């Protein structure tokens, strides 16, 4: 049985196991279950902390309109209050934005980072516009439109891994309208993190699906090049949600990072 604890801002934490800590931060519009394979693998010898962001998964509806920085600060506060020191911080997509905010706001906190299918740049004007259009759609239609939205997986995943696609869609279907609105606003207003990359002095793995339809592979490569000593790990045939699309490969990459931290 996993110990689930409610935190501030409506974040809910699954927190279990003992040993070095691993913090797994989920993508939009999924929840912490996207890390099920990695959490199970690491629970053998790690303390595993998996938040559900406000309005997603088991979390409460958002308390206010937290920014990416607010979420990063709340997660670090929760971890420190529980005695967590120098965790491995893994973030996918939106979770990667939170991980980079942690690196900027709390540079001594993490023992290493796995940056998965994410980017360091802020949104373009077109990107921000698309996010606010989704905010308005969620406001007027609710969250149901996500059920008609194709998940951002690779063509290979879509055709050959129907169970992964179904699992991703089940998480998308559980997202709330309030969660969608808060997350989209937070991502639209997030800070550019490119200046942070050169300041990171802990082990880093940049893990990226080779067929990511949202963040180009070249963006992941550029991010890895900007982080001294980082490792770039391409995940062949995966899209934007590689921890679900290629769980074994992503778990192995994060495990290698954990060994470098130890």
Mean pLDDT of the chain: 96
Pairing of strands 21-25, 47-52: parallel
**pLDDT tens for each residue of 68-79:** 999 999 999 999
**pLDDT tens for each residue of 206-220:** 999 999 999 999 999
CATH match for 3-261 among 3.20.20.60, 3.40.50.1820, 3.30.2130.10, 3.90.1300.10? 3.40.50.1820
**pLDDT tens for each residue of 27-36:** 999 999 999 9
Spell out the residues 6+ positions from residue 104 whose beta carbon is closer than 8 angstroms to its own: 191, 193, 196
Instruction: Say what the pLDDT of residue 1 is.
Output: 44
Instruction: Say what the pLDDT of residue 2 is.
Output: 62
Token representation of residue 17: 């196991």
Extents of the domains making up the chain? 3-261
Rounded to an integer, the average pLDDT of 93-121 is: 98
Name the pLDDT band for 152 (thresholds 50, 70, 90).
Answer: very high
Instruction: Say what the pLDDT of residue 5 is.
Output: 85
Which percentage of the chain shows pLDDT scores above 70? Answer: 99
Cα–Cα distance list, 9 to 17, 72, 108, 166, 241 (Å): 24, 11, 23, 29, 25
């Amino acid at each position: 049985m996993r110990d689930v604890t409610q935190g501030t801002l409506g974040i809910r934490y699954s927190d279990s196991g003992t040993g070095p800590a691993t913090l797994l931060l989920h993508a939009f519009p999924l929840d912490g279950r996207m890390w099920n394979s990695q959490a199970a693998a690491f629970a053998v010898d790690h303390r595993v902390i998996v938040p559900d962001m406000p309005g997603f998964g088991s979390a409460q509806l958002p308390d206010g309109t937290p920014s990416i920085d607010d979420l990063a600060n709340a997660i670090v506060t929760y971890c420190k209050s529980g005695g967590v020191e120098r965790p491995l911080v893994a973030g996918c997509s939106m979770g990667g934005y939170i991980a980079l905010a942690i690196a900027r706001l709390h540079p001594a906190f993490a023992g290493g980072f796995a940056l998965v299918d994410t980017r360091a740049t802020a949104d373009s004007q077109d990107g921000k516009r698309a996010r606010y259009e989704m905010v308005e759609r969620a406001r007027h239609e609710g969250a149901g439109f996500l059920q008609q939205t194709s998940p951002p997986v690779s063509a290979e995943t879509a055709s050959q891994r129907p169970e992964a696609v179904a699992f991703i869609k089940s998480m998308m279907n559980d997202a709330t309208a309030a969660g969608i609105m808060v997350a989209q606003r937070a991502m639209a207003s997030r800070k550019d993190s490119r200046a942070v990359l050169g300041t990171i002095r802990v082990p880093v793995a940049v893990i990226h699906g080779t067929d990511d339809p949202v963040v180009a592979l070249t963006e992941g490569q550029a991010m890895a090049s900007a982080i001294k000593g980082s490792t770039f790990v391409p995940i062949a045939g995966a899209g934007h949600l590689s921890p679900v699309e290629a769980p074994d490969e992503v778990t192995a990459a994060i495990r290698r990072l954990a060994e470098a931290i130890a």
